[in-house]
Amino acid sequence: MGVTSNKRLSTKTISIVRMFTRFGINNGYDEVAYWDDFKVWYNQVPETIIALKDLPDGMFPRAKALQHGTAGYESGQDTYIVTTNWEQPTPHGSFPYLYVRTNSTDNEVMSSLLGFDNVYLPESEIPYDAYLRIYFIGQSVSGGATTVHVAGIKPDWDAATATWVESRSGVNWQTPGAKGENDRTEPVDSLYVDYTDVGTWLEFDVTELVQQGYTSFILYGEHEGVNKAIYFPSNEYWDASKHPRLWIRYD
């Protein structure tokens, strides 16, 4: 017999459920409860905490997990851009990593652009939660920390041609580095990142942006007194399970 509950959970709480042990299997997951009109699924590892957004796409009819190269989704694009103080304007859309870099005096030396195209939600539905997740795979130095901000990208852009100067071929950013008010929104979430986070998923709450129709994002850094780069697998990385991921739940 499954475990059921009619408890109304808070937004914070509903994203986490405790696993229960039971028999039977359904594509590797078992139905254990209905909470807030959501089926809660679990794999057969007892006493484990799992986030709804970590579960496979398709397990919930009212949620989407978009990750380029998985579950048939091939509409992601990403790149990183580098200040012209470091290099001539150069596209990096085919590189297997994304970077956020600062130095001891400059907040934005390298920034990353991430886009999820062809995101179709029912017209009558409003996204209830949305999270951008990136896998923190490495850093240039072990010491120090970086604060990473996420904002929405306003103009059309193209990962194959975007640079520090241009959003796409022949079209400049309002301000180099996508720093202008017509280039990006105000940041909606920030994370303080240091060496202890290597090998984990960094999660940004982008609910506000997705509710406004944004599915393209910029990650940029704020220095904490060090010259440091942190990097993440891009959509060109060999392991698609580590590609950037956008998770959306809608009402």
Per-residue pLDDT tens digits for 5-55:
333 333 333 333 333 222 232 333 333 333 333 334 333 333 333 444 455
Checking if the pLDDT of 231 tops 60, the result is: yes
Residue 103: what pLDDT?
Answer: 87
Q: What is the pTM of this model?
A: 0.77
Per-residue pLDDT tens digits for 106-162:
889 999 999 999 887 666 677 778 999 999 999 998 888 899 999 999 999 999 999
Query: pLDDT band at residue 227, thresholds of 50, 70 and 90?
Result: confident
Pinpoint the residues of the chain covered by CATH 2.60.120: 76-250
Domain at 76-250: CATH architecture:
Sandwich (2.60)
> Where is pLDDT greater, at 15 or 217?
217
To the nearest 10°, report the CA torsion of 102, 103, 105, 106. -30
Ramachandran sector of residue 213 (left: φ over 0; alpha: ψ -120 to 50; beta: rest)? left
Q: What percent of the chain has pLDDT over 70?
A: 73
Checking if the pLDDT of 63 tops 80, the result is: no
CB atoms within 10 A of CB 86: 13
User: What does the mean pLDDT of the chain come to?
Assistant: 79
Residue recorded with tokens 């009619």: 6
